[in-house]
Each structure stands twice: as structure tokens, then as C-alpha cells.
Structure 1
Amino acid sequence: MFSRLAVLLAICTGVFSRLAVLLAICTGVFAAPAFADDLDAILSKAAAGKKAPGAGLLIIQDYAIVDEAVYGVRSLSDPTPVSRSDVWNIGSDGKAMTAVMIARLVDRGVLSWESTIGGVLPDMAGDVRPEYRAITLQQLLTHTSGLPENIRDEKALNSLFYDESSANLSDRRRAYIARALQDAPVGRAGRFSYSNTGFLVAAFMAETASKETYESLMRDEVFKPLGMTSAGFGRPPPGQPAGHRQGRIAVPRDVNPDFFAPAGNIYLSLDDWARFCIDQLRGANGKGALLKPETYSVTQSPPPGAPVSMGWFVRDSIAGLPGPVYYHEGSDGAWFAVVALFPASGSGVLAVTNGGKDMGGQALALAAAMNAAKLLANKK
């Protein structure tokens, strides 16, 4: 269910288009094309031998989008070429957005980093193991809570994932959390262990404290302020690229359910994803629009001994570009996305495909992203 499925490129279509980003000085988001032919070549090479219907690649330099390439078609049943305005599911790469939404609530005093599960969710005391009651919001968002990655009992997990008796996503999150908080810890609090459940709990704490749904909070706190008009949750709407796995278009049981969005179920265009990433780069240099400078530092800094901050794996370097590097991979099972941001130079690379790991999506996205990063290193 959580297998990271790779993307199939429909090479038989022979469809490849390169979309250079036009100068838009008024927004400060776009810069003149600089890498067009290189990105075409990188994406074409990464797609060779893969079967994903479509893919995309974008480069940020000096806090602006400088170029973008797209390849292929929207799905195995839709020969429409993918375009720069199309949307892609980015899986766990959306965790950084969830963390920023919650950080804005912290900046306003709705929550604090030291807010605990027991303190914010007292009515769930009967569902919470004693080990989790003092777990903090900061531990949940840095994967140091001790919570398992997902509910361990596969039968219970599947039942909660695909029980659509309630259309209320917050109610479904609560049901998931009530079961998840009964699982034994995978380790002591403070030790790194990747956890989707931790992000679900943190998001539900935000819903409870604010009395707003996660989806409304994301729109109001992240998408609208940054002009991310294409962003949404779950499967992209009709007329957009479709996710694929096992050589076919994915069905609902192939992918994460809608209520899982805090941990990884956001879709958006590459340009809108770049808007968020540019704000993260600016925030790392004291110029972000969404958070206080000190809050960017908290969200982007791993706790002692951990490799991950709030939504970012932090690396020393990639492709010869100096760190810190903010990095993540994401997949809901039928898509794959990779992001690497380089705060020291205000640059980054974003790669997406609409196919799962078993279709080569992970290999495609990683190859495209890493070779684009090398291109940045050579042109810096």
C-alpha cells in the first residue's frame, strides 16, 4: 500500500515538450530561461527505458524559477501532452507544507512547540498509551515521537483507510489516530523514526486547537498567502495527469486516502510547488513571507542526533552543491516526486512523475533531480 511506485513514461507517444518560464518581474518568482535545452536532455535521458506517462522538472536559481521541462502525456488512456500548468501529487513532500501551516499557528500562539498530545487532546485520553501523552508537537513533526510509521495492524489499517462511511475527513483522521495511539512505540521519544502517523496527530492537534479543518488551514495559512492556486488534496481532478501503478491508472485503493493529506496527499503544479520552495529558501536567509525568522530556523533545523527537520531531510551536500540541503522524496503509491533545496545559493530542483516505483518513477525522478542539481553546480 505504501510501496513507492515508479512512473511509466509513454515513450510510444513520442510526446516531449519543453516549457521555458517567461520573465515575470512583477512577481519576483520567475526569471529568464537559462537551462532550457539542458533540462530537455536531462528529462529525456531520465525517462529512457521507463514507462511513465508523464514527468516534469523545474530549476530554481537566485530565488526564482529559471526553467522547466515536461515530458509525455497525462495518462495511458489520455494522449493529451502534459503541460506546465498541470498538477502532480507530491506525496510526503507535502509534509513541509503541513509543518509550515502548524508553525503559523505557533507564531500566533494557538499552539506551542511544547504542546503535548495529552494537553491538546484530553478527550482522547482513553485511546492514548501513557508513553505518548507527553509527546510534543515538535517531536511529532521531527519524527522523534516514537510513533510507528503507520498503524501496524494491516487489517486495521486497511479498514480505516478505505472506510468511507463518513465523508468528514477530520472524523476519519480522529478514528485513525485513536487506533494508532494504541500501538507500542518503536523506540524512545527523542530518537528518529519516520512516522506518517506523527504528522496525522500533529495536524489533528492543529484542527482541535484552531477549530478549523486541516484542509481549510492549509488553504488559509499556506496556499492563499503564496498564491498557490492549483493546490488541492487527494487525486487530481479530471482533465489532469493521473497516477499509475502496475501498468495501469491507479484506483482509490492503490493510493493514500484523502484524510491522509497531512502526511502526504497534496497535488499542485510545479510552479506552485516552486512558490512554496522559494519561500523556504528565503526563510532560511531571513526573508520568508510566512513565518517569523526564528520560526523558519526552528522548522528547518533537525533536533540533536536526528537527520530530519520539520518536513526536510537535511544533508551536507548534493551534486557538489554545499549544504545544508533540504531534501525529500514523496509518493502516494502511484506518483513520485523529489525536491532538493540549496539555501546557500537560493536554488533548488523539483522533479515529478505520474507513475509509481514499480514503473520506474522513483528512478526517473531521482535521475532527473540529481542531474539537474549537477547542472546547477556546473553553472553556479
Structure 2
Amino acid sequence: MMTQLTARTAPPKFTSRVLAGLMGAMLLAAPATAGDLDLDSYLETVREESGLPALAAAVVKDGKTVAVAAVGTRILGKDLPVTLDDRFHIGSNTKSMTATLAGMMVDEGRLRWDSSIGEVLGDDVKGMSESLANATLEQLLSHSSGIPSDNESIGDLYFNADVFDYNLSALRVHLIDQWKTNEITVPDGSPFQYSNLGYLIAGVMIEKTSGTTWEQLIRERIFEPLEMQTAGLGPQATYGKLDAPVGHRIGPDGTVTPMLWGPAADGPQVIAPAGNAHMSVVDYAKWAGWNAGAGERGPELVSADTLQQLHTPKVVTPIRKNPPPGTPGTGDYGFGWGFVEFDWADKPLMTHNGSNSMNLAKIVVDLDRDLAVVVMTNYPGTTADEAAGKVMQHLYEAYAE
């Protein structure tokens, strides 16, 4: 049994290597407004103040990573320094990748934005409620279908013994079959309800029309074209190794347990389309930079029209007080992206948070400036959310001019 550590235990100080090159290009000098920013030192200060095990961040401008660093340790209280190649979990930030896969299916004529669940999955899931069958891909990707946020009954479907009897694609269909008779209702006012189940169903629609598993598609059509060599799915660390910053679970009494490998180290894999990707900060910067370029740079994963659809707000997000870290609390929502007015930016920015309750990641994209910032940590909760948000704001302000 691993010894539990208190939440107040301060990890030892470590700093990362400075990145000398990325994809064959020299690390660019920071713009004048970034001044003498030493990202390693800055992240280390924030990490120590917040008591985080590890903290990583990157800034991408005009397709070039202009600043990147990773500091801290893979396990709270242990002498296991992180590196720039270390994999961090991005949680629900995977949703923008699932939405992009859906966009590929639209471009190929396999799906339409208004394709309904019943139209695509009716032969595999017979007897769906009329309201569920009528929900569309566009509604699923924008959390506006009427499918509710995770609750106890939905959670029971994620965590059950059926996982031992099915491949993941079949397990997802089986899960929908178990939930199919539920009637769904769009709330009065904003239709927005943050729904992991909705993204699971969108993932099944992608699998059905492509004839390929979601897991294969995200590797072959996003990770590989963008040369995201560290990107993978599930828990960050290789089974039996401590080769990545592992997530940490905070108990009700404040004790902290590093979650190393196995099922407890990530959310259930059946909901992977809603959020189970991991990758290094360097590789996550590639995804951020590709989106910030708004299709002006390769690779051409989707058409320009489809990318614009992905980057366009669809529904208003009602204000939510104290939303769980990793879920939106205000703004608008598109397909896998939120659009938020921050008090430190001159216009709404494209953004998302991700957390599997053991890790946390943030991304913000300014399409007009071709600028993006990513922040990642292997720690959950409000403290991590506030620290990562502080870093995101600081780096955006430093490089936005």
C-alpha cells in the first residue's frame, strides 16, 4: 500500500531542461513584451507556492513554440524530476479532438452536423426514446442535446462489470443500449448541459460511420499527422514504470494518493472520446498551434469550412457558480471549445479546461493573434485550477502584444 501524503506536503524543487529546438527550428526569442521572462523559474515559483508536484506550460506564436518548460516531480514528495518529454493528462480537452474527428467524417460525407443518433445508430440500438433518437451530432458536440451532465445513474453505467466482456467500441454501444429509453429534455433558457455521455455517443457515431475505432482514429488522424510522438490514451505512466507525472487523488480528509497505473489511474475507458488523452507539453503545444493557425498551416486535417464550424460558438453557457475544475462556468460553447471573456483579454478567447479528477490542463487560443498557451499539472482540484489559471493569464498577457 502506498503511503498517503498530506495535501500540504511541499515537493522538492526541480527545474527542467531548456528546449533548444522543436521540430527542427531554434527556440525563438521572446517578444519584447515578454521581457526577461524565465519560464522555468516562473513555473517553479508558482509550483512551490501552490504545492503542486509538477507544472508545465508552453506558448505558441505564429506556429512556433516561443516558450516551453516543465518543472517539478512525477510523484508528490519524491525525487523524480519531470522532463519536457513527460506525458501529462489533458482530460476533457480531448473533446476538441473528438469534435475534429467528427468534422473529418462530415468532410467525407459520412456524417452531417444534423445527423441524428437514431439515423446513425438506430439499427444497433433499437427502441431508443424518440427524444434521444432525434438528438443530432451538432447538439452532442455543443452539449445542447438535452442529455444531462453525469449523474449517479450514468456513472453506474461507466463503472460496471460489463467492461470484461466487450471490446470498447461494443461496450459503448452496449452502454447506450442500457440508457436508450431515457427521454431527454432541453432546459429552459440555455440548452447547455455539459455531457460526457453526449461525447461518448458522438464517438460511437464516428466509429459507426468510419468503420474504425475512436482509439485508432485519434492516433492515425490527429496524433500522427501532427507528429505528436508522446501522445497516447489512458493513464500517463507506462504500466510498471514511473516514466511520467502520475495523477494524484485527494481524499475527503485531505490525504493525497499518487495514482500510478491501472483502472484507478484514469477515468473509465468507455468514455475516452470525452477525455482520456495524454501527451507532453511540447506535443500539446502542437495541437494548440495548429488550432491557433485557423487552418493557414498544415496539415489539413479538415476543410477550412469545417474548421470554422469547430471554432464558432453555438450555445450560451449559463453562469455556474463554483463549477468543478475542468468544466466551463461561463461564456459560449462550440464543438469541443469554450469561448470566454476573460477580464485580462480584450475579446473572448477560445479555451477549454480538462481534468479526470487526478490531473488538470488548460488551453487558451487567440485566433486573431495566432497565439496559444497551454498549462498542465498532475494535480487536481481548486488549488491546481487557480495556479494553472494564473500561469495561463501571465503568459497570455506577456505574449499577446
What TM-score, normalized by structure 2, do the two folds share? 0.83
Matched, 1:134 2:134: yes
> How many aligned positions are there?
366
Q: Contact 1:284–1:343 at 8 Å: present in 2 too?
A: no
Structure 1 residues 181 and 48: CA distance shift in structure 2, 3 A? farther
Correspondences of 1:87-126 after superposition (within 5 Å): 87-126=87-126
Residue in 2 aligned with 1:4?
Answer: none
Q: How does 1:169-248 map to 2 (within 5 A)?
A: 169-187=168-186, 191-236=191-236, 237=238, 238=241, 239-246=243-250, 247-248=256-257
Unaligned runs of 5+ in 1: 1-6
Secondary structure, in 3 states, of the residue corresponding to 1:133?
helix
**1:344 equivalenced with 2:376 (yes/no):** no
User: In the TM superposition, what whole-angstrom CA distance separates every residue of 1:206-251 from its partner, at most 9, and x where no partner exists?
Assistant: 1111111000111121111111121111101231111111211126
1:20 aligns to 2:18 (yes or no): yes
Equivalent AA in structure 2 for residue 310 of structure 1: F
Aligned twin of 2:53 = 53
Q: For 1:22 and 1:259, how far apart are their aligned partners in 2?
A: 39
| 2:63 and 2:289 in contact (8 A); partners too | yes
CA deviation after TM superposition for structure 1 residue 347, in Å: 0.8
Q: Does 1:249 align with 2:258?
A: yes
* SS of 2:164 mapped into structure 1: coil
* Secondary structure, aligned partner of 2:55: strand
Distance 1:10 1:97 in 2: 35
Which of 267, 276, 301 is the equivalent residue of 2:287? 276
Going from structure 1 to structure 2, the CA distance change for 1:157 and 1:222 (only over 3 Å counts) comes to: same
* Matched letter for residue 327 of structure 1: T
CA change 1:9–1:53 in 2 (3 A) is farther
Deviation at 1:187, TM superposition (A): 2.0
Q: 2:175 & 2:230 partners in 1: Cα distance?
A: 28
Which of the residues 364, 372, 380 maps onto 2:395? 372
| Cα distance, 1:193 vs structure 2 | 1.5
Give yes or no for the alignment of 1:335 onto 2:331.
Answer: no
TM-score normalised by L of structure 1: 0.87
Q: Matched residues in 2 for 1:332 and 1:98: separation?
A: 16
User: What SS class does the counterpart of residue 74 from structure 2 fall into?
Assistant: strand
Q: Hey, which of these two has a bigger chunk of helix by percent?
A: 1
1:189-212 CA distance string (max 9 Å, x none) = 982211111110001011111111
Residue identity in the other structure for 1:357: G
| 1:138 to partner: Cα distance | 1.0
The amino acid that maps onto 2:186 is: G
Deviation (angstroms), 1:32:
1.3
Unaligned runs of 5+ in 2: 1-5, 251-255, 318-331
Change (3 A) 1:154 1:350: same
CA distance, structure 1, for counterparts of residue 293 and residue 62 of structure 2: 10
Measure the CA separation in 1 of the matches of 2:171 and 2:291: 30
Aligned to 1:32, which of 21, 28, 35? 28
Q: Secondary structure at the match of 2:282?
A: helix
Give the superposition deviation at 1:285.
5.5
**Aligned partner of residue 390 in structure 2, secondary structure:** helix
Contact 2:11 2:76 in 1 (8 A): no
2:312 alignment partner AA:
S
CA distance in 1, matches of 2:155, 2:106: 36
Structure 1 pair 55/26, CA: closer, same or farther in 2 (3 Å)?
closer
Q: Relative contact order (alpha carbons < 8 A, sep ≥ 6): 1 or 2 greater?
A: 1
Match of 1:165 in 2: 164
1:3 — aligned with what? none
- 1:310 aligned partner: 335
Alpha-carbon distance in structure 1 between the residues aligned to 2:232 and 2:79: 24
Alpha carbons 1:43, 1:56 under 8 Å: kept = yes
Letter in 2 for 1:281: A
Over residues 15-65 of structure 1, what are the superposed CA-to-partner deviations in whole Å (9 max), with x where a residue is unaligned? 123x433345756xx641426744234323322343322110111122211
Q: 1:87 to 1:167 in 2, by over 3 A?
A: farther
Task: Go from structure 1 to structure 2 and tell me whether the alpha carbon gap of 1:345 and 1:123 turns closer, same or farther (over 3 Å shift).
Answer: same
Residues of 1 paired with 2:303 and 2:8: CA distance? 42
* Aligned counterpart in structure 1 of residue 350 of structure 2, from 326, 332, 344: 326
The 1-side partners of 2:196 and 2:39 are apart by 33
Specify the alignment match of 2:310 in structure 1: 299
After superposing on structure 2, the runs of 4+ consecutive aligned residues of structure 1 that deviate more than 6 Å are 7-10
1:80 counterpart residue number: 80
